[in-house]
Amino acid sequence: MTTDTQQTAAPSVNAADLCLYDTTLRDGLGMEGLSLSLEDKLLIVQKLDELGVHYIEGGYPGSNPKDAEFFQRAKEVPLQHAKLVAFGSTRRAGGDAATDPAIRAVLEADTPAVTLVGKSSSRQAREVLQTTEEENLLMIRDSIAYLVEQGRELTFDAEHYFDGYREDPEYALASLRAAERGGATTVTLCDTNGGALPWEIEAAVRAAREAVSCAIGIHAHNDTDGAVANTLLAIRAGATQVQACLNGWGERTGNANIVSVIGNLKLKMGLDVVTDEQLRRLTEVAHFAQELANLPPDPQQPYVGSGAFAHKAGLHVAAITKSAGSYTHVDPLRVGNRERVLVSELSGRRNVSEKLREQGVELELTDEQTARALERVKERESKGAAFESAEASFELLVRRTLEGYEAPFMLEDFLIVERRRHSDEADKQTASAMMAEAMVKLRIGEQMVQVAADGNGPVSALDAAVRKALLQVFPSMSPVHLVDYKVRIINSQAGSDAAVRTLIETSDGLHRWRTVGASTDVIEASWLALQDAYEYWILHWGQAEIAST
């Protein structure tokens, strides 16, 4: 069994004092190419609440109509753990907090907690706000005091705190004192540019801890790839509020990843910021967010990635079969993930048998059969195939190396013709189109079937023709369809002679499986993946029809 390695946190840190503050729906959405609908944002609120997050920042209600409507709709979402937070900025220079549009917007959002951002850098106050250092401190105190008088719990986001502390430490600390005098319950130290290094974070947090008596928070950006480490060091130095985003989303290179932060706090530092049951949902929530944002999950994301507990090297696989957890730092099940065995050119014989067992394939292979299958894997991978994400192709590869295995169909011959139609209509671009026709000859059992079909490209036409032929013998195959098709150039330096790899995901409405093909010809590579996709379905769910052919 895996034993989690825990280190004792700093004595001043108490799990009961720690609070998780998620800023995905505001700071996280600064990530390039990321956009969420109003409904998406409400769903993420529910997931974060279920995960045990204490504060959920919903955005700036004065920035756009969608954020304003979000706060109205969010009132209908029953929250069990979290408080909803509206985000805004301190009043304008020379203005009045009670009438300031930004202050009014967060007040009208009617959330129990509010976060205001203000400058903690004297240079930023002078050059960006174009006001005096003294006026900036008044802006911080007045804005917070007014909202506290209205019954709001206030967090002050000390923007550019670490840069400001480096340049003028006394002024940076003065901004925190101004926030505390205004009634802020937490002053959150922001590494806005993401350039602070761990030892700088620790020293500046300790200085803040000595300067104010209210709670300290940390908000780290990932421009040096140190956001999670900086967050953990800040906690050891006395910070108790953790601001972070799901999957490390955020502007530029992102924010601290709240998924990794939770895993490290709970499993490495022994701080129970979430329950064991909530921790087991970590992988589910991380993948849910990526899916909602139409982003592929990062397989190498710590704790929750599909590769976080995956083993490829033969020596590693041999070890984990003898002693579970030999190459994992925590038990994957604790975060809702699982240990996986990969098969590749780096594999040993045990990888083959373990991968089959993992996939639920009941095949007892002799040493000779295993060696033959492994040799075939290495041969296929040398030509560009990759089986790590193509479990169906891997199973078929192994079965094809066994004596007596007969494929349910064989492609005897095919011909693809492409043509470009042209019209004299005014809109030439829409009037012209590439068309393809495929003619295939398939041997299915003792039958020879010859058909033709059209498609909007050569692969589409080939797929349509093969399906048309197979449906004559396997009519129950009709729900089977491609749901994803990817092409990757393997050795781009070879120019037009480069090999390509195609990865296909197929579904019949109940099951999903992935297959791979590789060749210097994109059509052949696609055919190899298509062949595996249909053969895999027939092997597993078309047995009755095989018997009748």
DSSP single-letter state for residue 257: B
339 pLDDT higher than 70:
no
Average per-residue pLDDT for the chain: 85
Q: Could you tell me the pLDDT band of residue 543, with boundaries at 50, 70 and 90? A: low
Q: Are 401 and 369 in contact (CB under 8 A)?
A: yes
Does residue 543 fall inside a structural domain? yes
**Residues 436 and 396 occupy one common structural domain:** no
66 pLDDT higher than 50:
yes
Residue where one domain finishes, among candidates 274, 289, 324: 274
pLDDT at 311 (0 to 100): 57
Amino acid at 410: M
Amino acid at 549: T
Query: Which of 461, 462, 505 has the alpha carbon at shortest distance from 482?
Result: 505
pLDDT at 423 (0 to 100): 55
> E-strand spans in 388-537?
409-421, 433-444, 447-455, 481-489, 500-507, 512-519
Report the 10 Å Cβ neighbour count for 394.
27
Q: What is the CATH number of the domain that holds 166?
A: 3.20.20.70
Task: Please state, in angstroms and rounded to a whole number, the distance separating the CA atoms of residues 473 and 470.
Answer: 6
503 pLDDT higher than 50:
yes
pLDDT in tens, 200-257: 999 999 999 999 999 999 999 999 999 999 999 999 999 999 999 999 999 999 999 9
163 pLDDT higher than 90:
yes
Amino acid at 180: E
Q: For the range 430-437, what are the long-range contacts, defined as Cβ-Cβ under 8 Å and sequence gap of 24 or more?
A: 436/460, 436/461, 437/461
pLDDT in tens, 397-437: 888 888 888 899 999 998 999 887 665 554 555 444 678 89
**Residues 141 and 233 occupy one common structural domain:** yes
**Residues 368 and 416 occupy one common structural domain:** no
**Residues 129 and 51 occupy one common structural domain:** yes
pLDDT in tens, 68-99: 889 989 988 889 999 999 999 999 999 999 99
Q: Are 192 and 209 in contact (CB under 8 A)?
A: no
**Residues 96 and 151 occupy one common structural domain:** yes
Does residue 53 fall inside a structural domain? yes
Does residue 394 fall inside a structural domain? yes
Helix axes 258-267, 227-236, angle to 10 degrees: 40
**Residues 264 and 238 occupy one common structural domain:** yes
pLDDT at 10 (0 to 100): 46
Task: Please state, in angstroms and rounded to a whole number, the distance separating the CA atoms of residues 508 and 505.
Answer: 11
Looking at residues 54-58, what average pLDDT do you find?
Answer: 96
pLDDT at 315 (0 to 100): 47
* Structural domain span for residue 471: 409-423+432-548
pLDDT in tens, 103-113: 999 999 999 99
Residues 6+ apart with CB under 8 A from 12: 238
**Residues 383 and 416 occupy one common structural domain:** no
pLDDT in tens, 266-302: 999 999 999 999 998 898 899 888 877 877 778 789 8
Does residue 314 fall inside a structural domain? yes
Amino acid at 540: H
Task: Please state, in angstroms and rounded to a whole number, the distance separating the CA atoms of residues 158 and 179.
Answer: 9
Does residue 151 fall inside a structural domain? yes
**Residues 87 and 209 occupy one common structural domain:** yes
Number of domains in the chain: 3
pLDDT at 132 (0 to 100): 95
**Residues 143 and 253 occupy one common structural domain:** yes
Does residue 2 fall inside a structural domain? no
Percent of the chain with pLDDT over 70: 85
**Residues 384 and 417 occupy one common structural domain:** no
**Residues 416 and 528 occupy one common structural domain:** yes
CA 293 to chain centre: 9
Q: What is the CATH number of the domain that holds 416?
A: 3.30.160.270
Does residue 301 fall inside a structural domain? no
Does residue 171 fall inside a structural domain? yes
Task: Please state, in angstroms and rounded to a whole number, the distance separating the CA atoms of residues 217 and 503.
Answer: 45
Q: For the range 481-485, what are the long-range contacts, defined as Cβ-Cβ under 8 Å and sequence gap of 24 or more?
A: 481/506, 481/507, 481/508, 482/506, 482/533, 483/507, 483/512, 485/459, 485/526
Looking at residues 352-371, what average pLDDT do you find?
Answer: 75
Q: What angle do CA 25, 190, 160 make, to 5 degrees?
A: 120
Identify the residue with better confidence: 308 or 127.
Answer: 127
